[in-house]
Amino acid sequence: MNLQRRLIGLGVIGTSAAATLAIVAAMVLISLTIVMGGKDTLSWEFLTTAPREGMTAGGIFPAIVGTVLLVLLMSVAGVPAGAITAVYLSEYAHQRSVIARTIRFAVNTLAGVPSIVFGLFGLGFFVQFIGTGMDRMFSDGVRLRWAQPNILWASLTMALLTLPVVIVSVEEAIKNVPQELRAASLALGATRWQTVWKVVIPNSLNGILTGGILAVSRGAGEVAPILFTGAAYFLPELPDALSSQFMHLGYHIYIMSTQSTNVEATRGIQYATTLVLLMLTFVLNFSAILLRSRVRSRQLQ
Amino acid sequence: MASQRREAEHPSPMTPANMKRRFRWDEFLAEKLITAVAFVSLATIALIFVFVFREAAPVFFSRPEAAQVDQAAEEETYGEEALGEGARALSEGRNVDGVEYGDASSGSAMLENLLSVTWQPVGSLPKFGLIPLILGSLKVTIVALLIAAPLAILAAIFTSAFAPPRAREFIKPIIELLAGFPSVVIGFFALMSLATIMQQTFGYQYRLNVLLGGMAMALTVIPIIYTIAEDALNAVPKFMKEASLALGATNWQTALFVTLPAATPGVFAAILLGFGRAFGETMIVLMATGNAALVSWSILEPVRTMSATIGAEMAEVVFGDIHYHVLFLIGAILFVFTFTLNAVAELYVRQRLIRRFRGV
């Protein structure tokens, strides 16, 4: 009986360990495949030149710039708004009020709405509704300037997509600031805003940063929302205005691997582009994880 | 520093009465500004509902064959009613066998078209049958979950119960990193590498199919299920585990028969959220499933999902065309479906989880 129990135990632990190992192995396998496929093509020239000869040669410079610009605009639009919303939720709203609970529910459920739906919203709201309105106001309304996909609409769509991510992680960081600190600050005669600005925010800065980085890494990797809100198939010149279209690493990978007429000739370019995108999101995620574990270990002390 | 300066400004002792009278502009502005920004960002979130449905509604009141009828005043309400009916009929059609046609209770030709089994949006007589797309999404999602759920839950049990602390510190961040893999990268891996390996190993006919898409999708679902399930397992009170161990149960018996049952609602929520994520995921299915709108139960044939249809066709569609509105309708269905799943996971399961830990 004891032997039987021990054998079953070994089986249970072995199976669960094998499952864990399988997941880790799958991840390592993907990373290795992409590194191996892309490392020969990856070079300084590849990173700093535009595609040439129908995208079968040259580099991915416009795609890198487009991705970075998209992420920057998205962060400028989304991270402050998300952080302020989180401050409102945790410091100003009455915690048990219907409004606060509804908002929290909406934010949590929206985090699970597919990114392609955000893309549809971006097209219907920003491009068609706001864009058409702006064209009517600022120009003759015949020539399309804003009522077409561009980098501004793509970044705003992306900002909206990452808003729940920012709100949830910043709120968590703010909640981790001990209540005693707030009480001490208020007891010394500081007002609520002074407490928020001088006590709560400095003490949750790491968490706010983590939220921002997570949002940025999600924004860098998502392709579905920009499919029809601004990404361009091929555009050697860099975007020079908010109303220009742009190239994007993820979209470039999608286009090259599914619509390219000569998949074999561009295989190296495809792998290398994927490698660049993977490294970008890897660095971002890794720094977020490091920051978060630093915050956690500081809280334990 | 700041407090000294304030004291200089207000040398008189502060009593509750004169504190109340003092009005601070910065305080007032900060509070109003924060509230305003919060409400603007939340109003924008609410707008998502409005605009996706607004663009989907015309499907039901401008029929392709009939000449445009003038419906000035009643447009809005009619559109909404028809949408509700359409969604209900859709879910009924899906419950019964997946091939049943709507019985055209509304008499609308469009509704019948939507419930047909052919998706051929371009042509002189466009067919917008949603059945193959819904079936396609379900097939890929179920395959993905059948692969992801057991692996992720077993891994969660391993990390929470069996793994030595040092290994735990190592495993958790790795799986978190997997969550950060862009879906286009996983789709690319499936398309370029996994597809070839799978076809060579199993020798099936179509290189891109449901099985391949499901496997790739599983990679994005695993971190979600793992993280939430692991949280739920760790949230089980320590005294329950200690009681079990004190009664002579082994480590694995405690993990399987005490911790796991206590965390069931959380694990269930994890699976629900994974389902929602897989159902709406776009890039992977766009790249790895072949995108053929077939009606079949085989998992070795290509398939076209709802999300992939939007992703592939929206860029080429004419604005205001019926096809454009049908794509928005698909988006609205996706939205309602995933929102409901999330709401169930959020409200029902979390409540039960809390009650369970208090009640035991």
pLDDT in tens, chain B (360 residues): 444 444 444 545 555 555 555 677 778 888 888 888 888 877 887 788 888 888 888 887 654 443 333 333 333 333 333 444 444 444 443 333 333 333 333 446 777 778 777 888 877 777 888 888 999 999 999 999 999 999 999 999 999 999 888 888 888 888 888 888 999 999 999 999 999 898 888 888 888 889 999 999 999 999 999 998 998 898 888 899 999 999 999 889 999 999 999 888 889 888 988 999 999 999 999 999 888 877 888 888 889 999 999 998 888 888 778 888 899 999 999 999 998 888 888 777 767 766 666 654
Which one is predicted more confidently, B6 or A12?
A12
- Is B215 in the A-facing interface, judged by CB distances under 8 Å? no
Residue B35 CA to its chain's centroid (Å): 29
CB–CB contact A189 B287 (8 Å): no
Residue B43 CA to its chain's centroid (Å): 21
pLDDT reported for residue A296 = 65
Q: Do residues A280 and A258 make contact, with C-beta atoms less than 8 angstroms apart?
A: no
Those of residues 248-277 in A touching chain B at CB distance below 8 A are: 250-251, 253-254, 257-258, 267, 270-271, 274, 277
- Is A158 in the B-facing interface, judged by CB distances under 8 Å? no
CA–CA gap between residue B264 and residue A271 (Å, rounded): 41
Q: Do residues A299 and A55 make contact, with C-beta atoms less than 8 angstroms apart?
A: no
- Is B335 in the A-facing interface, judged by CB distances under 8 Å? yes
Which of A159-163, A266-270, B119-123, B164-168 is predicted with the least confidence, judged by mean pLDDT?
A: B119-123
Q: Rounded to the nearest 10 degrees, how much is the dihedral formed by the CA atoms of A159, A164, A165, A171?
A: 120
pLDDT reported for residue B56 = 85
ipTM of model: 0.89
Q: Do residues A168 and A107 make contact, with C-beta atoms less than 8 angstroms apart?
A: yes
Residues 6+ apart with CB under 8 A from A188: B3
pLDDT reported for residue B103 = 37
pLDDT reported for residue B190 = 93
The beta-carbon neighbor of A191 closest among B24, B41, B311 is B24
From chain A, the residues in CB contact with B41 under 8 A are 81-82, 84-85, 163
CB–CB contact A285 B180 (8 Å): yes
pLDDT category of residue A298 using cuts at 50, 70 and 90? low
- Which of B172, B188, B197 would you mutate first to test chain A, the one with the most A CBs within 10 A? B188
- Is A147 in the B-facing interface, judged by CB distances under 8 Å? no
Residue of A273, A163, A123, A284 lying closest to B192 (CA atoms): A273
Which of A23-27, A30-34, B122-126, B169-173 is predicted with the least confidence, judged by mean pLDDT?
A: B122-126
From chain A, the residues in CB contact with B162 under 8 A are 13, 16-17
State what percent of residues in chain A have pLDDT above 70: 95
The token pair at B333 is 């269905």
pLDDT category of residue A142 using cuts at 50, 70 and 90? low
pLDDT reported for residue B102 = 38
CA–CA gap between residue A51 and residue B165 (Å, rounded): 48
- Is A110 in the B-facing interface, judged by CB distances under 8 Å? yes
B37 phi, psi to nearest 5 deg: -60, -45
Any alpha helices (H) in chain A, and if so which ranges? 2-38, 44-48, 61-87, 98-110, 115-121, 131-138, 151-175, 179-187, 192-195, 201-203, 205-221, 249-259, 267-300
From chain A, the residues in CB contact with B346 under 8 A are 105, 108-109
pLDDT reported for residue B106 = 43
pLDDT reported for residue B149 = 95
Q: Which residue of A has its CA nearest to B41?
A: A81
pLDDT reported for residue A250 = 92
From chain A, the residues in CB contact with B2 under 8 A are 194, 198
pLDDT reported for residue B284 = 93
The beta-carbon neighbor of B185 closest among A16, A274, A285 is A274
